[in-house]
Amino acid sequence: MTPRALLREAATALRSNLLRSALTAIGVIIGVSGLVVMSAANAGANKLVERQIANVGTDVLFVFTVNVENALRRGAAIILTDQDANAIREFVPGLQHLSREINGRATVVAGDKSWNTKYYAVEASYETVFGVKLSEGRFFDEADVRAGAKVVILGASVKEKLFGDKSPLDQTVRLGAVPVRIIGVRTKLGSVGGENLDNYVYLPITTARAHLPNAAMSSPRQISSIDMKVKPGAVREKVKEEVLALLRERKHLVGAQEDKLSVFDSTRFVELLNTTQTSLTWLLSATAAISLFVGGVGIMNIMLVSVTERTQEIGLRMAIGARKRDILLQFLAEAVTLCVLAGIIGLTIGLVGSALVAFLVDWPLIVPPVSVAAALLVSVGVGVLFGYLPARRAAGLNPIDALRWE
């Protein structure tokens, strides 16, 4: 029997039980669509990690303050100050740039529109530490910081919410109750772990301390964190340990108290993203594998039922000259055809699902061509693997017994 004749016979058999064929294919459809979504999610997450590495860099260290409320429950709170930042500048030679930072929440008001956002009150060196890129305008400089200039940089989401497609440069908005002039807009960064990195505004630390009540914190010289960029050629781990040792000495931390202070490495940020990505990949892989197995068992079961229902047909074919090999290939072709059709439907659903996931989590939509090929190959493999037993059973029937079957 020619391949064309096999396909024609398979299509006829599947059409004769269309509803049963469709229900049987659901497991394979879900499994293949899961494989495609998994591959696209993995590729998109990888691209997102690359983007975040480019945005943050692997040579950035952060020292954060301990949450005062939680710290008080465990003992004395650790508070970072300007003096700590100055000490790090002076005594840690492996650092290229450093920026003090205060962060909090505020409402930005532009005309009749308002938007609740987060602010970063930082030094001019913040631009260099993080390699800040702007789509419009400029970042504030040292002169702005010294003068406590009422200027602000908008994140991409804040700009869009308040100004849409219009340029906000030189417009005056209110940050809390303070009028500030917009001098720049940061390029779009995207989201990580549900956190919108574009929902921020940036202003000089001196401006925030002078005009934003919550920026004063519990001490006039207190800061939220210290952001540092390691010098080219310096060993990041060594610099990290030097910063920790200096701060532990300044804060008189010994024994278990040392755990209250740590330096966050930007590579740790990437590790967290990779961990999330790996968990997602394993979850989707397990779901896809289970669905494919269940779908394959369903196909094998239905094909066995089909062999029973068509026993007389098999006997008649053998009686007029069909070989066992022809019967085997006929039923195997039906199983493979059903699985390939299910694979194509699953592939289509997977592409739509991948686009939806990419939209919801705001990462690039990337569907590796190898995943498309793998989805179709898996479909064929499931058809062959789970269709072989029913096909072999059909081919092994005795022609006389098959013709007598009722």
- What is the pLDDT, as a whole number, of residue 74? 47
Per-residue pLDDT for 243 more than 80? yes
- What is the pLDDT, as a whole number, of residue 47? 75
Give the tens place of pLDDT for each residue, 74-87: 445 678 899 999 99
Binned at pLDDT 50, 70 and 90, residue 327 comes out as: confident
Selected residue with higher pLDDT from 236 and 142: 142
Selected residue with higher pLDDT from 348 and 359: 348
| Helix locations, 310-323, DSSP H | 311-319
Lowest mean pLDDT among 18-22, 145-149, 254-258: 254-258
Mean pLDDT of 63-91: 72
CA distances from 50 to 152, 179, 235, 254, 324 (A): 28, 37, 22, 38, 56
Mean pLDDT of 354-360: 83
Mean pLDDT of 229-236: 90
Q: Which of 56-60, 205-209, 284-288, 402-406: highest mean pLDDT?
A: 205-209
Distance CA 394, CA 332 (A): 10
Selected residue with higher pLDDT from 136 and 316: 136
Determine the straight-line distance between the first and last CA of the chain, rounded to whole angstroms: 27
Give the tens place of pLDDT for each residue, 371-391: 788 778 888 888 788 878 777
Mean pLDDT of 227-237: 90
Per-residue pLDDT for 186 more than 90? yes
Q: 364, 46 in Cβ contact below 8 A?
A: no
Strands of 84-219, DSSP E:
95-110, 113-122, 134-137, 151-154, 172-175, 178-186, 191-192, 195-196, 200-204
Binned at pLDDT 50, 70 and 90, residue 292 comes out as: confident
Whole-prediction pTM: 0.66
CA distances from 398 to 63, 304, 318, 328, 385 (A): 79, 16, 9, 14, 24
AA letter at 208 = A
Q: What are phi and psi of 192, to 5 degrees?
A: -140, 125
